[in-house]
Structure 1
Amino acid sequence: MIPIKENPDFEAEESLESYLEKWPDDLDNIPECVIEQWCYRHNEMFIESWSGYQPENWSFELVDFDNDEIFEIEHLDGELDHYDYVGNEFIQHPYKRDFVANYMLEHGTFPQPIIVAIDGGEVEHPKSHPGEYMKEPYHLIEGHTRLGMLRAMINRGLDTTGSHEVWLMKFNT
């Protein structure tokens, strides 16, 4: 059901516009921003890990989280420590920064909203051990580096906007 991103000559990646033209009407519940940053950019991983979770039943709501709510977002055990480490590395070592880190330091928030599952405690994360379920109330789905960067910025007292757009996703299972 999820379109595969084409790369016919192994030189030119399919454009987002071309990919969106293939997007099935059955999945019009997924916002274009989510398609771009999750389904398109992480296409093979998305198809392998998430397509079996009935994406046609998901719902999304764009909300604002304040800095305190950002720290309510969880992930698999031990993973947030790694993302915090990466965020701190970007802050401490300018030569390691990419576009996202530079954007966040300049603007104090994400360049695109992260994706967070709400109340997914009955859903096994595709990268977890069998029987390991998502955290509640909020479990990070996509935007690991951005979340780690923002958490590091907040912990270090760096300027943030204090309000950050987040896609809240419900599995509707």
Structure 2
Amino acid sequence: MPVYLKDLPVKPELDFIADDDAFARFQLVPDIAALNWPADVVRQWIWDHGTNDHFLRDYAALDLSLLNWTLEKVPTDDFMTLVTGVSDGDAIEEYAANHHYWMELKNKAKGTVRSAWEDNGTWVVPPVAIACCLMELSGAGLHLIEGRTRVGVLRGRQRAGLNVAPKHLVWVGRKRGSEQERSF
């Protein structure tokens, strides 16, 4: 049975987002648990953005029950042309143009962001992407669902000649049971 973002339950209104007990309970909601997705993907896509108008519009036709997730290492060059939803089409480049500012802003919220970039040349939390073919986009690449700031920081750092790792971990969604594979 198809599952669409608009049909899923949303997180309860909380005084603060970092309520780990509420998130743990949310993962047990039958419609969420039935997806059988990794916690990182549920948190970033459904928990954090399940009510985001841009997400609801851009991914309205995507059957979420078809997605199987793997944590993959993706080359830096792939991120230099990665696309995101049409509603946020320019966001990655806006973050890239001000990568230092956005890295510092994220570091204030999560104190390990700056050191991850400076020491390891990558992010703390892997972003979420799906195979372009699931969005009926041409090419065999990836479509970024969540992580526009992280990818923008990566692009900005790469263009500025700063420390950027050659590969980065990403949660990649592909059609369940498909033979889509990518070797890295």
Match of 1:127 in 2: none
TM-score between the two structures when normalised by the length of structure 2: 0.69
TM-score between the two structures when normalised by the length of structure 1: 0.72
Residues 37 and 68 of structure 1: CA distance in aligned 2, closer, same or farther (over 3 Å): same
Match of 2:98 in 1: 89
Residues 17 and 73 of structure 1: CA distance in aligned 2, closer, same or farther (over 3 Å): same
Match of 2:72 in 1: 63
Deviations 1:30-80 (A, max 9, x none): 211100111111121287344652211112221101222222422367966
Match of 1:3 in 2: 9
How far the C-alpha of 1:139 sits from its partner, in A, is 1.7
Once the two structures are superposed, the pairs formed by residues 101-120 of structure 1 within 5 Å of their partners are: 102=114, 104-106=116-118, 107-120=120-133
What secondary structure is seen at the aligned counterpart in 2 of 1:158?
Answer: coil
| Distance in 1 separating the partners of 2:102 and 2:143 | 29
Question: Are 2:117 and 2:123, in contact at CA under 8 Å, matched by a contact in 1?
Answer: no
Q: How many residues were matched structurally?
A: 159
Match of 2:167 in 1: 163
Question: Are 1:74 and 1:135, in contact at CA under 8 Å, matched by a contact in 2?
Answer: no
Residues 42 and 77 of structure 1: CA distance in aligned 2, closer, same or farther (over 3 Å): closer
What secondary structure is seen at the aligned counterpart in 1 of 2:28?
Answer: helix
Gapped runs of 5+ residues in structure 1? 124-132
Residues 12 and 149 of structure 1: CA distance in aligned 2, closer, same or farther (over 3 Å): closer
| Distance in 1 separating the partners of 2:102 and 2:64 | 38
Question: Are 1:119 and 1:138, in contact at CA under 8 Å, matched by a contact in 2?
Answer: yes
Deviations 1:75-131 (A, max 9, x none): 36796654233233132x4896322763553342122111222132x63xxxxxxxx
What secondary structure is seen at the aligned counterpart in 2 of 1:98?
Answer: helix
Question: Are 2:131 and 2:174, in contact at CA under 8 Å, matched by a contact in 1?
Answer: yes
Counterpart amino acid of residue 97 in structure 1:
L
Instruction: State the identity %.
Output: 19
| Distance in 1 separating the partners of 2:123 and 2:45 | 15
Question: Are 1:75 and 1:134, in contact at CA under 8 Å, matched by a contact in 2?
Answer: no
Question: Are 1:84 and 1:149, in contact at CA under 8 Å, matched by a contact in 2?
Answer: no
Gapped runs of 5+ residues in structure 2? 1-6, 179-184
Residues 139 and 163 of structure 1: CA distance in aligned 2, closer, same or farther (over 3 Å): same
| Distance in 1 separating the partners of 2:131 and 2:97 | 27
Counterpart amino acid of residue 21 in structure 1:
L
CA RMSD of aligned residues (A): 3.2
Residues 134 and 51 of structure 1: CA distance in aligned 2, closer, same or farther (over 3 Å): same
